[in-house]
Structure 1
């Protein structure tokens, strides 16, 4: 097997590792490109290509994460990971576990860990690497890696809710949620939301969004019900999708360009959290990106016209 074939065979795994460490599709792809350049110029073949390339991608990702954290501290508004519609790494026997590690909630919890804790957790807890390979990947002793793993697991277990295992039930509830959203049905939305539901958007200062997070079933239901007809008036449509392994949607304009994504955290038969990514810099991998500001101006003109007609 050629080097190119070996790399392409491992690409889904390498991307899955890099994305979970970085929370960014674009940065994960850059990490893979750098790993390929190193692999291409390595004079000797390692005993295990998988272990070698996983280690290279991990080291690159940790270095990128250290610099990215400085930028994220100065980020405008809430920072969410770049949405991922489909994880290319598939393991049917561990699909639920892999899906959980991909969720927005899990990735945001990983942000609380140090870069090394995050890398060790991803390699050990998500992908089941042995400590000798992990130690080689992060440049620490096996004993140190075991300690990092224990600390990381403790932080993750303390903050992560367990999503309902029954995917069918989650998808059914999400379907009802999006139906109620399209219809602007306040009562229908309210009955699907947790009492303390939290809704927030990541626009990065580059797209229109809610000024603040919205909390509580009554407020969230009313905001969503008012928002639905506004986007409909300017031709924006909702396409249900799995987003980061959870029920969600992609919003597209009349030309099919991506306006935003939305993902739902569902627990105990209710929507607990609604997160939207509106920052155009985080949507390019999903498809051509719409001009959200132009849509906002068009929606404002429509509302003014309707108000003038009613007066």
Structure 2
């Protein structure tokens, strides 16, 4: 093997070892699987063609993927301001960054709730917070990554932490409690048990979806335990009647589910936000542009029409704010 070939092989091995970390950094900054993957790929191209050997490969690659992510986020924020309806991060079923000692912390940092809080920060604040609070980078490394001095990075970290702390709930459920409650929730959901659902929901629970205008819209969502429990109880029977399947799983490190049609294609994902022993929010991603990495995507409008036809005489219609009651656009 020639020296250039050996060098390229070594670089590829080093990069693959760090790829999970790079993706995890990029996804937390961007909230998008596809954009994070693109940032990681561009990082490899820059590393592959670099003529110098960095003193720290991890520091170099982390800096590159962070700067790329900041640039992408700045342009993405404009698009998100024009987004149709609520914007949620692309669902992540498995975070590739595996650190057993910090798995719970990392799961919480990638939750829908945490990523939506990060949307309040500027791109620089967001990058500094992710590198410092999630991955424990030193301020010298952070300064190099974001192109600011250490004192400025410390100030960015303080501001970011203040914003995040202000939006976080005071009492979060532990993992075991969340999983047990989610299991009870999906059991009641499958059985159409309105009372069982109601007792698991917070009084002001919010059921809301991100369709991006490309799937049946949820409108402003469904609010309140009574309305949400009733809406959930009538959603599932006709869906399962046409071969639909609800697959409970971890979504963004929290209890959730993937809804699939009879062919296994993805209809949407759900993520449950659980606090104080109750489900506070159910966030569903229906936008097909955000589901391709989960698997082949179903035709949402065709599913809606099929489910409507499968509803039996006298069976109640879903609430107007739910997608199974949304009229197909003309």
Same fold (TM over 0.5): yes
5+ unaligned residues in a row in structure 2: which ranges? 1-8, 316-330
Question: Cα distance 1:183–1:49, how it changes in 2: closer, same or farther (>3 A)?
Answer: same
Corresponding residue number in structure 2 for 1:205 = 213
Question: Cα distance 1:217–1:165, how it changes in 2: closer, same or farther (>3 A)?
Answer: closer
Corresponding residue number in structure 2 for 1:140 = 148
5+ unaligned residues in a row in structure 1: which ranges? none
Corresponding residue number in structure 1 for 2:241 = 233
Runs of 4+ in 1 over 6 A off after TM superposition: none
Pairing partner for 1:307 from 310, 313, 326: 313
Equivalent runs, 1:213-228 vs 2, <5 Å: 213-228=221-236
1:123 lines up with 2:127 in the alignment: no
Shift of 1:16: 0.2
SS in 2 for 1:85: coil
Pairing partner for 1:277 from 282, 285, 293: 285
Pairing partner for 1:189 from 197, 221, 232: 197
Shift of 1:165: 5.0
Corresponding residue number in structure 2 for 1:75 = 83
Equivalent runs, 1:1-311 vs 2, <5 Å: 2-161=10-169, 164-303=172-311, 306-307=312-313
Question: What TM-score comes out, normalization by structure 1 length?
Answer: 0.96
Q: What is the CA deviation profile of residues 72-106 of structure 1, one whole-angstrom value per residue up to 9, with x for unaligned ones?
A: 01101100000000110011111111111100000
Question: Cα distance 1:24–1:224, how it changes in 2: closer, same or farther (>3 A)?
Answer: same
State the Cα RMSD in Å: 1.4
Q: Give the conservation status (yes or no) of the 8 Å contact 2:173–2:277.
A: no
Shift of 1:41: 0.6
Paired residues in the alignment total: 307
Question: Cα distance 1:223–1:72, how it changes in 2: closer, same or farther (>3 A)?
Answer: same
SS in 1 for 2:98: coil
Q: What is the CA deviation profile of residues 149-182 of structure 1, one whole-angstrom value per residue up to 9, with x for unaligned ones?
A: 0000000001012564532221111011011111
